[in-house]
Chain A
Amino acid sequence: MDQPTEIHREPGVCIPWQEKLKELPEIRGDADLCRRVWEDVDSLAYTYIWHCLLSF
């Protein structure tokens, strides 16, 4: 279960890449690509949460 107070979430972020990275084996390929895609999709979840509050 999430322990929300243990993670400092910056604006635009739900699960920071650095947190996700700890779960992964050593990245053999393009680490920056992995980070970018993770953050792009993660930001969609952030958008969902905050637009529920602000827009709907």
Chain B
Amino acid sequence: MATDLEQRYDQRLTRYVTALRNEKADCVPIRPFLAEFCAKYTGYTAQEVTHDFTKAFDAVLRTATDFDFDAMVGNMVYVWTGLTQAIGLEYYAIPGIDVEPDTGFQYREPSEERAYMKPEEYDALIEDPTGFLLNVWLPRVSRDVVPIGAPSTFRSNLSFLKGGMAMMQYFAGFGTQAQRMRTECGMPGAIAGILKAPFDILADKLRGFLGLTMDLFERPDKVRAACEALMPHLTHVALSGADPAKQVPITIWMHRGCTPFISPAQFDGLYWATLKPIIEEIWSRGHQVLFYAEGNWDRHLPAFAELPEASIIYHVDMGDILEAHRVLGHKFCISGGMPNFLLSYGTPDQVRERCKALIERVGRDGGYVMDASAIVQNDARVENVRAMVEATREYGTY
């Protein structure tokens, strides 16, 4: 049995990696990013898999056993709220505490006035990003951490103690999870390493999107300098978590750097100008980057086409996958294209028809990975996910 699973692991990994390199494997690989769906399938609540990562790992293993995917993420409910609670992070709504037990965790962006970084603090961030995060940002995002100069407190000290140990425990758990996925399910891990664009992280966690859009007009040079100051750190973090075997990609979670959130000129001169060199640096180290392009990034496809061949995998969410394939398909693997609303509200026959169309029009020459458009939560119907797998196997053989 172990030998069979090892063979299955090798077959799946080869199929997946071949497609990632924009080549033709034996068939179209299937790599859904399943989050709270695994909880639903295995009988857990969203609270259980979000707050107890051992249940999340268990849910993935049981789902991996029952579905013929080619790669999965060890835990796509990545934000373990036991950890965020230990640190005292205030920006998450936790299932079972702040929201209903079967609702996924939520990110709560503060108002413009309560942004975690003030507009006059750009120079401090630019001068010393790591020091700024520790000394200024963490005390603002944590209910427990006190700022530099304030009297030390028991809870502030505990935030670092508990947070540090919990993070070590969680990250070490991913190593064990990857090994169990391989030996118990024959399932490769889909991704390794995290990247975010400098602009996106400024918007998400520092200035807030509203504050940052005002900064683009009031202090554009500071925004540019801040993005440049973040670049080497974001590159370092991405590479430090990358797959040593250089088989599966680092993932960039792309948020609000596309039009119409910002103008085409702001995209070209800021977002892309400070992201493209990171991608090129990562590629020079032999790692692909999966562009998880949340939203619609069609306007920017020509910019992405500037990148070296096979350096990225382009994942389509709300964009036009046929257009993405037309502009990028000659250089890069494409993934996605199965609308989440179809998995939630459609029928198995509709899912099968969509799979057939995607394979015929995007995957016919290889370089395509079947996936939902976005992360699959507990609103997806089990029979529709099963139909996606069965139809891809039926229509996706080369």
Q: Which residues of A contact B (CB under 8 A)?
A: 1-2, 4-5, 7-14, 44-56
Bound-state CA distance A54–B135 (Å) is 17
CB–CB B127/A5 < 8 A: yes
- Chain B residues near A11 (CB, 8 Å)? 232-233, 235-237
Q: Which chain A residue has the least Cβ–Cβ distance from B92? A: A56
Q: Does B132 contact A (CB under 8 A)?
A: yes
- Chain A residues near B201 (CB, 8 Å)? 53-54
B215-261 interface with A by 8 A CB criterion: 232-237, 240
CB–CB A12/B240 < 8 A: yes
Bound-state CA distance A47–B137 (Å) is 15
Q: Which chain B residue has the least Cβ–Cβ distance from A6? A: B128
- Chain A residues near B84 (CB, 8 Å)? 56
Tell me how far the C-beta of A3 lies from the nearest C-beta in chain B, rounded to whole angstroms: 9
Tell me how far the C-beta of B366 lies from the nearest C-beta in chain A, rounded to whole angstroms: 32
CB–CB B127/A49 < 8 A: no
Q: Can you sample 29 A-B contacts with CB below 8 Å?
A: A2-B135, A4-B128, A4-B132, A4-B134, A4-B135, A7-B128, A9-B129, A11-B232, A11-B237, A13-B130, A14-B130, A14-B134, A44-B168, A46-B130, A49-B130, A49-B134, A49-B138, A50-B130, A50-B237, A51-B237, A52-B87, A52-B163, A53-B137, A54-B196, A54-B237, A55-B79, A56-B79, A56-B87, A56-B89
CB–CB B194/A54 < 8 A: yes
Contact bitstring B116-135, A, C-beta under 8 A = 1, else 0: 00000000100111111111
Q: Which chain B residue has the least Cβ–Cβ distance from A47? A: B240
Closest 4 CB pairs of A and B: A4-B131, A11-B236, A4-B128, A9-B130
CB–CB B233/A50 < 8 A: yes
CB–CB A53/B205 < 8 A: yes
Tell me how far the C-beta of B229 lies from the nearest C-beta in chain A, rounded to whole angstroms: 11
Q: Which chain A residue has the least Cβ–Cβ distance from B163? A: A48
Q: Does B151 contact A (CB under 8 A)?
A: no
Tell me how far the C-beta of B395 lies from the nearest C-beta in chain A, rounded to whole angstroms: 36
Bound-state CA distance A56–B73 (Å) is 17
A-B contacts besides A1-B149, A52-B138, 13 pairs, CB < 8 Å: A9-B130, A11-B232, A11-B236, A47-B240, A48-B163, A49-B130, A49-B138, A50-B237, A51-B167, A52-B87, A53-B201, A53-B205, A55-B194
- Chain B residues near A45 (CB, 8 Å)? 164
Tell me how far the C-beta of A15 lies from the nearest C-beta in chain B, rounded to whole angstroms: 10
Tell me how far the C-beta of A19 lies from the nearest C-beta in chain B, rounded to whole angstroms: 13
Bound-state CA distance A9–B127 (Å) is 9
Contact bitstring B190-219, A, C-beta under 8 A = 1, else 0: 000010100001000100000000000000
Tell me how far the C-beta of A30 lies from the nearest C-beta in chain B, rounded to whole angstroms: 25
Q: Does B345 contact A (CB under 8 A)?
A: no
Q: Which chain A residue has the least Cβ–Cβ distance from B195? A: A54
